[in-house]
Amino acid sequence: MKTHVRIMMLGDLMGEPGLAMFAKHCPQLILQHSIDMVIVNGENSSSNGRGISPKIVEFLKKHGAHVITTGNHIWHNKDIIPYLEEGHEDVLRPANFPAGCPGKGITVFKTASGVQVAVINVQGRVFMKEQLDCPFKSMDTMLSFAKYKTPIIVVDFHAEVTSEKLGMGLYLDGKVSCVVGTHTHVPTADARIFPFGTAYITDLGMSGAYNSMIGMKAETVLPNFLTQMPSRFAVDKRAPFILSGIWIEVEVATGKAVKIEQIKIIDDIMNLE
């Protein structure tokens, strides 16, 4: 069995531009960095930038994704609900949603080389609309299961504020292999490995239109700031586009991260197959 495993985690895919950038660059990134597993946040991948569908799940898997995490927009495309009710574990919803919600917040994936990786998806509470269970206590519950399966555990913490994300990273230092933040769509410059072996970044960033407002056309968002009147946001499909995230290298025996590198690709060409 391999002594180390490499895992790539890519930030929130925004509509068709996000899907196109993923499809174009994920396969080459897998080869370039000898990636064993790909995790991507897909909660904004529908054409309107809200939700995900089974068709999109298949598209992402076709182009290299193994596990798809989500967040507060998981229910915005109703097509995903029966998919989750059927027990599929390639798409996660935050573990701290009420127990009656369809889907799971944890899965264990086996790589081609036989290494098991646990993936946990959890959502923050500060400045988020949903009334969810405590993400820290939810993580304690998830870890009690995950540690029986594998020492390699990665966490997508879908949260708004940097302090809550950083708090989760430090809380889990030495307990998991990696904690990444998603939701705010802006990549942070703080990728690091904490003292007890947990890789961390406050936000992976997004895949979508680079000169947009977190993937949406600025002209559809700014009126809301200027007038406080509601406005209909629209996904920006104008070049250039960005793909952002990280890849980490983890010791198989211990689950400790030994390397973390950020990914940032800017491309003028979008081609959605």
pLDDT in tens, 146-165: 999 999 999 999 999 999 99
Mean pLDDT over 237-243 rounds to 96
Residue 246 has pLDDT above 70, yes or no: yes
From 73, 88, 158, 185, active-site residue? 73
What is the maximal distance between C-alpha atoms in the chain? 59
Q: What is the Cα–Cα distance from 151 to 154, expressed in whole angstroms?
A: 10
What is the C-alpha separation between 159 and 134, in angstroms, rounded? Answer: 12
pLDDT digits (tens, 9 = 90+) for 11-39: 999 999 999 999 999 999 999 999 999 99
pLDDT over 70 (residue 270):
no
pLDDT at 184: 97
Domains of the chain from N-terminus onward: 4-267 (3.60.21.10)
Predicted confidence at residue 20, as pLDDT, reads 96
Three-state SS for 3?
A: coil
Flag whether pLDDT at 273 surpasses 90: no
Distance CA 85, CA 79 (A): 11
User: Tell me: the pLDDT tens digits for 52-76?
Assistant: 999 999 999 999 999 999 999 999 9
Instruction: Judge if pTM exceeds 0.85.
Output: yes
For range 251-268, the mean pLDDT: 97
pLDDT confidence of residue 271: 61
> Distance of alpha carbon 34 from its chain centroid, rounded?
20
73 is known as an active-site residue: yes
